[in-house]
Structure 1
Amino acid sequence: MSDKQTLLLNAVLRRLDRAPSGLLKDLSREMGVSRRTLQKVVSTAKGKTFREVREEMLVEQVKSLLESHPTRAIKELAFELGYKSPRSFARAIKRVCGSSPAELRSRTIFQLLQLQKGIRFED
């Protein structure tokens, strides 16, 4: 990859890290680069489509937020991550994880409880 492509990729990843709901068309407009160019840079570097990368980053952020705030409302998570509606957020999570945000939260809480049970403190 060229230096310009690396800069583009890093800019895309930073933007998605801030708001994983970002659409390719919006990013290309913001960056003054064609959608095709952004898609090619992402797929060359990551071996995945823009959408796949965006959704993986979304799931990681959701898991992180759920670990730190397990009782937080799904609606709040959706808006914080840049989604205009909880429904579109839920569809994105379901597409990537195969489960709803509520199911993902339940699994995350269960995993946290399992970790806590597995930790033993010695005197």
Structure 2
Amino acid sequence: MKQLSSLERAVEYIEEHLNENIGLSDVSRETGYSYYHMTRLFSTVLGESVGRYINRRRLYNASEKLIHSDRRITDIAFDSGFESAEAFSRAFKNVFGSSPADYRKAGLDLVVNAKREMAPEDVSHIANNISRSPEIVWLEEIKIAGIRGMTSISDNRLPGLWKQFRSLHTEFFGTERTGYSVCETQQAVYTEDGDVLFSVMLGCPADNVEELPPMLSGKTLSSGRYAVFTHRGTLANLFKTYKYIFGTWLSAAEEELDDREDFEVYEREVTAFDDPDNEVKIYIPIK
């Protein structure tokens, strides 16, 4: 019998309990992965939070009932886990672009994909711009100083945060060119519409993170084993590299994620977002 990846197990569990009151904690407990890593897996590979995925799958099932049954919309709403027909209608319109009543009247039967089909450019990126077999290393703890900001699945604010960091770089870090980007998923905030806000730390190595100027924050990255991947080329494709790591490599690797934060290391200055000579080291924590 084929062994399911952690993401496949998560999706299977969701499908089997779709009509129950489940959330990220339930999915994490079932798969054995932490709240942190399950958030990373879903947001990286499927491009959405666990909550939004569950909500969208329930809405798709509801759309089939609207088309293929004559049940009342209110009953379908309650069966789909919504507290009222109004809340169901708002969520349905947000996904399908029409109210449940109009959808039923028009006889539409739309499909909402859980994961988009892999495009040729994705295959090219995996083949040419990623070190597909990572280097396994042990790191002692690393202290960094820098700035914190927020980004989300639907609104990537990282370019603006990097611009802000670069404006402070010379004053506080001099000629230091090694930069760190840490996605602090353990501090993720889930919005009402199912999006996820992530805390991000951008910084440089520092000897002391206790006494810093007010505009800077300090952080210590935990020691341990890491699988190190190299991403080359435009930073717009970083999400594709993460999709490969969490969606392809992890499911086949004989390694287990550890409950520490992953991070990126920029060993040379990034002069342009789309510079083909960009190179980023991605450190994935493993046990």
TM-score for the superposition, normalised by structure 2? 0.30
- Relative to its length, the structure with more strand (as a share) is 2
Q: What are the within-5 Å matches in structure 2 for residues 95-110 of structure 1? A: 95-108=94-107
Shift of 1:81: 1.2
Q: What are the within-5 Å matches in structure 2 for residues 26-45 of structure 1? A: 26-31=22-27, 32=29, 34-45=34-45
**Between Structure 1 and Structure 2, how many residues are aligned?**
102
- Relative to its length, the structure with more helix (as a share) is 1
Unaligned runs of 5+ in 2: 110-287
* Partner secondary structure for residue 82 of structure 2: coil
- Distance of 2:13 and 2:81 partners within structure 1: 17
- Distance of 1:96 and 1:3 partners within structure 2: 28
The CA deviation string for residues 62-104 of structure 1, in whole angstroms up to 9 with x for no partner, is 22112221x3211011011121211211111011112111111
Contact map agreement 2:43 2:49 (CA 8 A) in 1:
yes
How high is the sequence identity, in percent, across the aligned residues? 23
- Distance of 1:55 and 1:8 partners within structure 2: 15
- Distance of 1:4 and 1:59 partners within structure 2: 24
- Distance of 2:15 and 2:57 partners within structure 1: 9
- Distance of 1:46 and 1:90 partners within structure 2: 24
Structure 2 residue corresponding to 1:7, chosen from 6, 9, 12: 9
* Partner secondary structure for residue 39 of structure 1: helix
Unaligned runs of 5+ in 1: 113-123
> Which of structures 1 and 2 has the bigger CA Rg?
2
TM-score for the superposition, normalised by structure 1? 0.62
Q: What are the within-5 Å matches in structure 2 for residues 1-123 of structure 1? A: 3-16=5-18, 18-19=19-20, 26-31=22-27, 32=29, 34-69=34-69, 71-108=70-107
- Distance of 1:78 and 1:60 partners within structure 2: 12
- Distance of 1:44 and 1:68 partners within structure 2: 34
Shift of 1:10: 2.5
- Distance of 1:46 and 1:60 partners within structure 2: 16
* Partner secondary structure for residue 12 of structure 1: helix
The CA deviation string for residues 8-37 of structure 1, in whole angstroms up to 9 with x for no partner, is 332234333x35xx5xxx523334365443
Contact map agreement 1:9 1:41 (CA 8 A) in 2:
no
Contact map agreement 2:39 2:50 (CA 8 A) in 1:
yes
Q: Which amino acid aligns with 1:82?
A: G
CA RMSD of aligned residues (A): 2.9
* Partner secondary structure for residue 87 of structure 1: helix
